[in-house]
Amino acid sequence: MDCLRQTVNVVQTVPVPLLLLFIASTAVGVAVLFYLALFIAAPTPRSPTRTERTFRHIEKDGKISTAKQLPCWQDTYIAQRQAAQRKGDFSNKGLEVENAEIFMSLVVPAYNEEDRLGLMLTEAVEYLEKEYGSTKASNTQNGSASKVMNGKAGAANGYILHPSPPQSSTGWEILIISDGSTDKTLETALKFARNLGDPASGSIRVVALTANRGKGGAVTHGMRHVRGKYTVFADADGASKFADLGKLVQACQEIEDAEKRGVAIGSRAHLVGSEAVVKRSFLRNLLMHSFHLLLRILTPPATASIRDTQCGFKLFSRASLPYIIPYMHSEGWIFDVEMLMLAESAHIPVAEVPVGWKEVKGSKLNVVWDSLGMAWGLAVLRAAWGVGVYRRN
C-alpha cells in the first residue's frame, strides 16, 4: 500500500505535458509492437511453383497427358491492372476478367482422399453432364432449351439458360487439386476420368501441389485457373448433396448486381436440430456454438449474420472472383470466412441457401486442436485486415 502511495506521489510531481507525452509514447510503442507481432504471425501464402501451374488429364486415346499449362484469369487481370496503374489510373474501372469458356467449374480440394473421392466424383459428374453436358449443349444450340420471359431468361432445372452465346450456358470442368497427397489420390482421380470415356474424361483436370497447403490454399489455387461462368468448390467427401448445385446457381443469379457479381453459399443451419447434429458429442457441439459466437463478435456485420460459414459448398460468379481470390491469405480451415469478408468489403451480394448434407466418415478435422486453430486464425485474420497488414492494394 505504501509503495502505491509513493508511486501516486511521484506521478503527481511530474508535469502534465511530460506525463501525457509518456502515455502517448507508450501507446505508440505498444501499437508498433502489436503491428510487428501481427505482421510476423499473419500467414503469407507461398507462390505456386511451376509444376503447380500445370495439369494432367486423360487424352482421347485413354492415356494420361503430359503436363499442360493451366489457364490463369488472375494473371491476365493483374496484368491489366498494372498496365492501367502505369498510366496513372488506380481506379480499377474498366478491368474485366477473361470471358468464360464453359458454364460451370468445380474445384475439389483433396488431401489423401483415395477412399472417398470416387463416390463424390460419380455424383458430381452425373449431375454436371445432365445439366451442362453435351446433350444440353445440343439442345441449347437448337434453341429448344432457352426461354425468355419479360426480358429475362427463364429458369430451367434450377439454373437460367441464356439464348446466346450457347457456350456460356453449357460445358463443365472439374479441377481436382491434390494437396500434397501421399496416398493414391492422383491415381484415383485419373483412373476415374479414364473410366468415364471420351468426351467427359477430358473435362477432368488433375493438379498436384508439391506440398500440403491446407484446404483453403488448395481451393484458392484451383479457383485461379477456372474457366467457368460460375465456379463452385465442394469437399471431396461428398457430404453436400451435389444436386443442390442448381439451387446455388439460381440463388446467385437472383442476387447478382449490375456487374454480374454474386456469391451463393450452401448452408446446413436448417439441420441444427436434426438427428445428425444432435448425436454429435457434447464437446463438438459446444465448440461449434463457441465458434459461431466468436464469428459474430469478430467479423463485420454481413459476414456475422451468416448462419453457416463453414459448409464446403460455395458458388461464385466469374465477375466476383477478381474481388476475392487475388486477396486471399488464409490457407487453413478458416479460409471460408476470409472469402465472405472480402465479398462483403467489395459489396458483393451473398445468398445463403439450405442444402442437403450428411455426415461422412474419414474426416481429417481434429475437433479440439483444429477448433482452437480456427479461433486463433480468425483472430489473426480479422486483426490483420483491421490494422492494415493485409490490404487490397
CB 145 within 8 A of CB 136: yes
Ramachandran angles phi, psi of 321, nearest 5°: -60, -45
- Cite the beta strand spans of 172-295 per DSSP E: 172-179, 204-209, 228-234, 263-267
Ramachandran angles phi, psi of 335, nearest 5°: -60, -30
pTM for this prediction: 0.85
C-alpha cell at 299: 467479423
Instruction: Give me the DSSP letters along 256-290.
Output: --TT---EEEEE-GGGTTSHHHHTS-HHHHHHHHH
Rounded Cα gap, residues 214 and 109, in angstroms: 9
User: Would you state the pLDDT for residue 372?
Assistant: 83
Which run of H or E residues covers position 102?
A: strand 102-110
User: Would you state the pLDDT for residue 337?
Assistant: 95
pLDDT in tens, 288-319: 778 888 899 999 999 999 999 989 999 999 99
User: Would you state the pLDDT for residue 56?
Assistant: 96
User: pLDDT category, 8, cuts 50, 70, 90?
Assistant: low
CB 38 within 8 A of CB 383: yes
Please give the distance of CA 248 from its chain centroid, rounded to a whole number: 14
CB 352 within 8 A of CB 336: no
User: Strand, coil or helix: what is 94?
Assistant: coil
> Would you say residue 276 has pLDDT above 70?
no
